[in-house]
Amino acid sequence: MNKIALVTGATSGIGEACARKLAMIGYNMIITGRRAERLDAVAHELSAMGVGVITLEFDVRDREAAAAAINSLPPEWQDIDVLVNNAGGALGLEPEYEGNFEDWDTMIDANVKGLLTMTRLIVPGMVQRDRGHVVNIGSVAGDAAYANGNVYCATKAAVKALSDGLRIDVAHTRVRVTNIKPGLVETNFSVIRFHGDKEKADNVYKGIQPLTGADIAECVAFAVSAPEHVQIAELLVLATHQASGSVIVRK
Nearer of residues 81 and 186 to ligand 8X3, judged by Cβ: 186
Asked if 61 and 106 count as a contact pair (C-beta separation under 8 A), the reply is yes
Query: What is the torsion angle, in degrees rounded to the nearest 10, for the CA atoms of residue 88, residue 4, residue 221 and residue 130?
Result: 100
Nearer of residues 132 and 210 to ligand 8X3, judged by Cβ: 210
Query: Going residue by residue from 184 to 213, which x/- string records binding to ligand 8X3, judged by CB under 6 A?
Result: x-----------------------------
Return d(Cα 11, Cα 96) in angstroms, integer: 30
- Shortest CB 174 distance to ligand 8X3, Å: 30
Q: What is the distance of C-alpha 222 from the center of its chain?
A: 15
- Shortest CB 144 distance to ligand 8X3, Å: 10
- Shortest CB 165 distance to ligand 8X3, Å: 20
Return d(Cα 228, Cα 12) in angstroms, integer: 30
Residues labelled catalytic: 152
Return d(Cα 118, Cα 115) in angstroms, integer: 5
Footprint of ligand 8X3 on 164-183 (CB under 6 A): 182-183
Determine which residue in the list 7, 39, 141, 151 makes contact with ligand 8X3, applying CB under 6 A.
Answer: 141
Residue type, 201: A
**Residue numbers of the site for ligand 8X3 (CB under 6 A)?**
139-141, 182-184, 245
